[in-house]
Chains A and B, each alone.
Chain A
Amino acid sequence: MKNTAETVSGSAVKETEGDWALSEKKIKKKIIYKVGRILLALITVAAFFGMSVSELFCREAEREGFYAEVTPMEAAGPYLDRIAQEITSHLVELVAAESDDTVIKDYLVSQGVDVQLYRYKGVYPMWGTNSEPYKPKITLQVELNYYEETGRDIWCGFYISPNDRYYCVYYMRPDCPADAPIREASDSLQTLHDKWGTAMRTATAMEIAFALCIGLRLFLFLKKRRKRHEKREREPGFLVWRLAAPSVCAVGIILTERLMERGIIDWQFFPRILLRSTAATLILVAVLLQGTSVSRFFYRVFRWILRKAGRVICSILRKFPPLPSGILLYVGGSGLELFLCFRTKWYWALAVWIVEKAVVLGAGVYLFVCGKRFLAAGELLAQGELDHEVNTAGMAGPLRRHGENLNSIGQGISRAVEAKMKSERMKTELITNVSHDIKTPLTSIINYSRLIGDQKTENETITEYAQVLLRQAERMKKLLDDLIEASKAASGSMEVHFAPCEVDVLLSQAVGEYQSRLEEKQLELRTVQPEETIRILADGQLLWRVFDNLFNNVYKYAQEGSRVYLNVEKAQDSVRIIFRNMSKFALNISAEELEERFVRGDKSRHMEGSGLGLAITRSLVELQNGRMELLVDGDLFKVTLLFGLLEDEDGTNADNR
């Protein structure tokens, strides 16, 4: 007893321990996740800072030696050899005297210098430290590049700018000797270059780290968002505005930097470091505040602005008719592209071209895929496959709406069809059940009226009345049978066993069944059919019932002593079976009316029959993929049955003699 209690409590403890362990695990996981997130944010910001600082350092190195704003002689002095110094000083004089380009070129050529002379009009987009390109005095820029690969080569470049002209001269000494002063110059440059290279490498590494951090953050964010999306906590537009905020920030920073480089915003008063650090601080703050009410507030404001802007743009776009606005958009885009191609550097044009092509390709593929899905869905819908659903995953806006509309059309139709089928089935079931229930009392009525009729009695009226009862009860039985058959055939709940059927065999069998009855009414049967065997795909049993009904019609309604024609005609891929007879009664109603249920050839309804015969016949023919046509022309009554020919090589030729 004690033992069991112990074990019970033991297991309970274990369970709670397990629970606790689980929750501890959860908490640990959560803490790790939180710490990881903050760590990631810190690394991101650090990478950003590092990137900015090293880039700045890089620029400083460039400013120190690579792009020195000094007098030509000061700049060239320590680095250039004697010939170069001479040429430079003379060149400065020539430029100061506003000599022609040809004079300058001639002088340089005469000095044996391999010369490339460029002349720029307007603003030369300088990338570097030149903040006043329009200074009226002569400015000479010396660019010295040290090349590690060759070691000894020094390229010397001059930018000489009187007013709106820039001259760029490259002095090349591939055969420069290994001794000083070039060596000194190169050593000094080497140090500078090393500094610059380290800064550059650090910047690249930091950029990669930054990009990785951003990628990781995005991945975590998407993962989390999917989880939330599954729980239906957020609306689908969430990702868009969440991603929009940082991207707008990034674009802003890039634009500001570009403007500063162009000298439009003064670089000196708004140093890059300040801009970058501000941005980094903002990102850090945003990351740390993520998930708190402050950030949610900002996000909400931001989302509101974006939505408002989107709505305004949409409403403006909607006001334009689609065709002109489309043309306008296309022409505008093309114009912009053309402008970029001709007015900017080739690489900008190339970049724009690539981006544009990528966008157009993406849009094209997107539209193609969507269109294909719609097309497939539409075709399936038209074929009657109503269960098919358009996959709207990845669709947006009007396309998504269109897909959803298609789906709801399909669903609506299939619902209606289902309801119709169900009601039709229920009708058949009802008729069948009711008929069976009626049959049992009917059996007794028939039996006892027959018994009464068989009684030996002197009162003949009793016998006569009993016979009336019996006749009417028998008629009711026939009616019930027809009713069941008609409803089953019409609702398609009849099983059809298709098999190859020989028309002439079936006809001869049917004629054999009815021969004596036709003779009884002096009806002469004239059969015309092709000699060859004609095969159709049908259910022999059902086809016999079709013929049975039609012969029965002939037997009941044909004028006694007249001829009945039965023709079989073979067309290219179908066969016609035609019944023609003269009606005993005037058929003063149309063929359609004749076929309607409960309408019979004789309006007085004094013949035995349910009036369902033709309706049943039609349903049975249609169940076997055939067609039935009725024609009433005066007293001529004509039924045409149309069936598809069964193409079977051995079948059609086997019995052909």
Chain B
Amino acid sequence: MYHILICDDEKDIVNALKIYLNDSAYILHEAYNGREALQIMERETIQLVLMDIMMPEMDGIETMVKIREKSNVPVILLTAKSEDSDKILGLNVGADDYITKPFHPMEVCARVKSQLRRYLQLGGSNARKEALRCGGIELDDKEKKVLCDGEEVSLTRTEYEILKLLMENQGQVFSPRDIYRRIWNDSPYGSENTVAVHIRHLREKLEINPAEPRYLKVVWGQGYKCEKHG
């Protein structure tokens, strides 16, 4: 049973979220501003917070800072602000993920599940040291297995090799040419598109929203990289 706190000043949105997350595994709490959210946090043991940024009395960012003073519970920000600067601000003050309004129910469910799994299952037991890890993605080279938020993902051999290359060198940008040369061991003349297609597939399999990837980032005009996650 997971306790989830939903916090938004718009009652309709809270209700809609409650309907989407209607699962026997979740116990849902609701708050309509930052102050109420903090009060509930004092009373209950919350495992996940879904919170709007623009709220009366105490906004999401301020609440976020207050929450982080005491706990490292995963926080997903809900926001109508789609600007990059707001997202970066949200992530910098300690948010784990964000969802832009208007949101898709599937996306909300997937992100909530992902965060819960990481927080409760993987967060405590990172025993397998030989496995490569990047956020919620885990690559075990011995068993040739890739786990995304604890669930096994089936990849083709090429996709696996590309992912392994990127995860072994987190933060480093590889041009499509480099990737082709390393994976195919061949001159990439005229076949750079292949790499792009494979990476697109990888993103579709590993990312909740392939257009806004969290792990496998596209550096436009230069190449691809796996974002470093602490």
Contacts and interface: CB of A to CB of B under 8 A. Distances in A.
Whether chain B is bound by chain A comes out as yes
Interface in A231-280: none
A442 B102 contact: yes
Contact of A540 (B102, B175, B195, B220): B220
A444 B103 CA distance: 10
A440 B101 contact: yes
Interface residues of A, number: 37
B16 A448 contact: yes
> Most B CB atoms within 10 A — which of A450, A500, A508?
A508
Contacts, number: 100
The binding surface of chain A is classed by DSSP as helix
A509 B16 contact: no
Interface stretch (B68-76, B115-123, B145-153, B196-204): B196-204
B10 A440 contact: yes
Given A508-B193, A516-B200, A443 B103 contact: yes
B12 A505 contact: no
A638 interface: no
A388 interface: no
B39 interface: no
Given A440-B80, A505-B175, A544 B220 contact: yes
Contacts of B81: 436
Contacts of B16: 443-444, 447-448, 451
A512 interface: yes
B25 interface: no
Contacts of A540: 219-222
Interface string B213-230: 000001111110000000
A622 interface: no
B197 A512 contact: yes
Contacts of A501: 220-222
B105 interface: yes
A481 B82 CA distance: 9
A268 B198 CA distance: 122
Given A502-B175, A508-B195, A515 B200 contact: yes
Contacts of B80: 436, 439-440, 443
A484 to B, nearest CB: 8
Contacts of B195: 508, 512
Contacts of B10: 440, 443-444
Interface residues of B, number: 31
Contacts of A500: 221
Given A440-B80, A540-B222, A447 B196 contact: no
B193 A512 contact: yes
Given A440-B80, A481-B82, A515 B193 contact: yes
B174 to A, nearest CB: 11
Interface string A481-509: 10010000000000000011111111011
Contacts of A447: 12-13, 16, 20, 102-103, 105
B177 interface: yes
Nearest to B100: A439
Nearest to A477: B102
Nearest to B17: A447
A511 B196 contact: yes
14 contacts: A439-B80, A440-B13, A442-B102, A443-B103, A446-B102, A447-B20, A500-B221, A506-B220, A509-B220, A512-B193, A512-B200, A538-B221, A540-B220, A544-B218
Given A444-B12, A451-B19, A505-B222, 12 more contacts: A440-B10, A444-B10, A447-B20, A448-B16, A451-B16, A473-B102, A500-B221, A505-B176, A505-B192, A506-B221, A511-B196, A540-B219
